[in-house]
Each structure stands twice: as C-alpha cells, then as structure tokens.
Amino acid sequence: MFNPPGVLLWVTMGGGKSKIAVDLIMNNDVISKVLIVCPKSVIAVWPYQFNTHAKNNDYDIFIETKGTIQSRMINLQKFLKLAEARGHKAVVVMNYEAVWREGAAKAIKSVGFDCCICDESSKIKSHNSKTSRFLGKLADTVPYRLCLTGTPMSNSPLDVFGQFRFIDKGLYPATFTAFRNRYAILGGPDKNWVFGTKNEDELRDKMFKLTFKAGKDVLDLPDAVHVERFMDLCPKAQKVYDEMEKEFYAQVGEGEITITNALTKLLRLQQLTGGWLKLDDESEPVRLDKGKQEVLAEVIEDLGNEPVVVFCKFTKDLAVVREVADKLNQHKKGSAEWRATYSELSGHENDLAVWQDGHTQVLGVQIQAGGMGIDLTRASKCVYYSVGYSLGDYEQSLARTHRPGQLENVTYIHIKARNTVDIKVYKALDGKHKVIQKIVEGEI
C-alpha cells in the first residue's frame, strides 16, 4: 500500500519508474481502478510495461486516442464494466491534453479511481494550466496518487507547486501566490518577477517528506561523452545576426525584419544560427546560411551506416536533417542497394518504429516531441542541431540513448555557431542545472 498515499518518484530516466508503478498497482488489493496520465507519445509504452513487469494477467488496459471524446468515454464505461465482471484491475491510460476536456473530465471524475499516476509529471508544473488545475481537483477524490519524473524542476524550484498540489495539498501553501511569496525573491516594476529563491531548506525538507529520489548511480551504464563542433555563420548571415541583436531590425536584400520584443528576438536569433530567417512580408522563412547543415553532413558521413539521432528545436531544422540524410545514398537511388535513410519524430510525423526496427539510419527528433518516455538506444551517437532553454527537454533527450539497453559508449555531438546565442543557450542550461542541484543537495 502507498505510504504515504501521495508520493513523488524522482528517478533518473531509465531507472525503473514504470516498473515500480506496475508493482505498486499489481501488489495492492485495495487498488482496482487506475488512471495513468502521460504525454501522448508515451501512451503506447504502458501496455509494454505491464506485459513485461506484471506477474499475472489479472489486468485490462484501456487505450483509445482516436474518435470523439464522447465516443471514447462511452467505450471507457464499457471497458470498466467488463474489467469488473472479469475480476481484473482496470488500467486507463490517457494523455494530458485529453483528461481535462469537456466530456472527459466529468466522466473521469465519476469513475471513482483508486489510484492516479502522473507520468512525466513535469507536465503539470505550470500551476495555472488547465491540465494541472484539473488533476489538482481530481486528486481530492483519488485515495492514492503518484508522480513519476526524472526532472521535477525543469526551470526552477517553483515548478514543484503544481506537482505537489496533486500529491498532497497540505504540504505547501494552498495557493501559488502564497507559495511563491514564501519561496521566491520577487522584484521588477510590479514586484512580480522572480529573481531567486528563499527558504530553500524548508522547501527541500518538505519536498523530501514525500519524495523518493534515485540518481544515475543506481544504473550500470556505459560512459557518455560530449563533443562540440563549432561553425561560423557566413558574412551575410553574421551581419544580419549582429544587426538584429543590436537594433531589433535588419535589412535582408529587398526585405526586412522588425522585432517587437526580446523574446521574439531570441527566437529569431536561434533560427538564424540554423540558417533560416522569416522576413516581415514573407510567409516562409528564407535561407541565409548552410554552415550547420555542412557540419551535420560531415558528422553523419563520418558515421558511415551507424544509426544516429539528430535533435532539433525548429521544423525547418528537421527539413535540413531530412535533406542531408536523403543525400547520403543519392548515388545509389534506383539500384537494389538504395534504401530510405530518414525517419522523423515530431509534432507532425511519428516514424519512430520504422527507425527502431532498423529500416532507416537517421532519426530527426523535435526535442519537445521526443524528449520523454521513448527508447532511442539503437543509436549511441546523438547530434544536437538546435536546443531551447528548457532544461527538462534537454535532460530528457540526453537520457533517451544513455539508459538501460544501451551497450555502447554514448557520444553527444553539439553543433554550435560561434559568436551567437547558441553559446548562451548552453550556458543557461548549465546554469539552471547548478542552481537546482544546489537546492536539492542543501548547498544553498
């Protein structure tokens, strides 16, 4: 039985979080109906986890991602009745984007689940999101609650509020405003900007009353090596980059780009390091540089036929990866030796299984879509073409190849444009890691 009834399981990626959850469900007679909420890309993982770790077949799993919410909820009720008639535990797996929808929320509340599991619980860290608020309310009706995560604080220690509102509402102040006032150093024009944290010892001590943490030291994994590959923007692209960074404006041939705020500027500068820029009067980005593409081509060519994963932030960057991959066997096209070389996992495509089965060599992954809950251990080489500021997305992506099942030393190859925001992004990620690590270990 869960003791206490709400727990955060903070275990490094590949450390066995899913197995622990399956064991808890299958070994507790008081649990008969379970709701597992997870990212959409992870839904298909759960049947495999139960098939692998459950000692008997006394369970049924409901997974339905197609059709209207109304039809899915009707099928859910039929499933629950059938599982009860068979004397089986009923395991319902749904994605975060669906549970709070009109029709689904009411049906889920009416089920009377004994246990609710939030897989990759950083998805509910945003206290004001509809998903986080719904699960916070659902927790009041569910006796046993479990959060599974490898990165509970992807941006700052304040990320724990939404997760612990689900685990145990009485642990921290009841509202996010009170929570932030207690643990954040505020400033700025409206005293609403977070400049740091305070009362870190209290925040940490309360958190670890309901947290089980296991790091990579529990795993027996090959070594991981980080390699940097630098390139320079061409003079034209660098000139545009410098103008945008300094003036929030740049002239590009007959076109121009006007930037209205710092956030948009950061986004445009990141896009330009990959060679693309969207002008004011153009519907599609224009190409200004191919430096990163050339480095990527060199890296993949050096790998020969070895499988490789390429992480990207932007859709246009994925198009570049596809272009590079397609050229690898271009000279063989039309012959019996030719085969496709590219698969993609993004918000638009999911060819992961094709790549995992060995039918293609290069897997282009949009880092936001492919960071959580997937196994990329077929490859021991990963290329980072572009990354964002999310520490959670970055660390999750690192652990997709460096996890149990990996038999080779893992090499991460980071392509960086000199004298650009690329360097600052990696420094920011490193800085966030140090701050969070100090709070967790009690050094602040």
Write out pLDDT tens, residues 302-323. Answer: 787 889 999 999 999 999 999 9
Q: Is the dihedral of CA 231, 237, 238, 243 positive or negative?
A: negative
Write out pLDDT tens, residues 51-77. Answer: 889 988 899 999 987 889 999 999 999
Distance from the Cα of residue 122 to its chain's centroid: 9
194 near 184, Cβ under 8 Å? Answer: yes
Which of 63, 19, 23, 26 has the alpha carbon at shortest distance from 44?
63
Domains of the chain and CATH, by start: 6-218 (3.40.50.10810), 224-439 (3.40.50.300)
220-240 b/e (C-beta count within 10 Å ≥ 16 → b): ebeebeeeeeebebeeebbeb
Distance from the Cα of residue 282 to its chain's centroid: 31
- Residue 14, exposed/middle/buried by CB under 10 A (0-12, 13-18, 19+)? buried
Low-confidence ranges of the chain (pLDDT < 70): 1-2, 13-14, 216, 218-219, 248-256, 258-260, 280-283, 329-340, 370-373, 433-444
pLDDT of residue 382: 95
pLDDT of residue 444: 46
CA distance 83 to 409: 45
CA distance 440 to 444: 9
Write out pLDDT tens, residues 145-190. Answer: 999 998 888 778 899 999 999 999 999 999 999 999 999 998 877 7
182 near 166, Cβ under 8 Å? Answer: no
Which of 438, 381, 369 has the alpha carbon at shortest distance from 409?
381
3-state secondary structure of 366: strand
Task: Retrieve residue 53's tokens.
Answer: 């770790």
pLDDT of residue 417: 93
For residue 149, what are the CA distances in angstroms to 1, 37, 128, 220?
20, 12, 20, 20
Specify the amino acid at residue 24.
L
pLDDT of residue 435: 62
Q: Which residues contact 352 (CB under 8 A, 6 or more apart)?
A: 343, 345, 363, 370, 374
Which of 98, 155, 99, 145 has the alpha carbon at shortest distance from 118?
145
CA end-to-end distance (rounded Å), the chain: 35
231 near 419, Cβ under 8 Å? Answer: no
40 near 179, Cβ under 8 Å? Answer: no
For residue 2, what are the CA distances in angstroms to 8, 114, 146?
11, 11, 9
Give strand ranges (E) for 218-327.
224-231, 249-252, 255-258, 276-277, 286-287, 308-312
Task: Retrieve residue 235's tokens.
Answer: 């003079």
Please give the helix or strand (H or E) that residue 342 lies within, else none.
strand 342-345
State the pairing for strand pair 362-366/342-345.
parallel
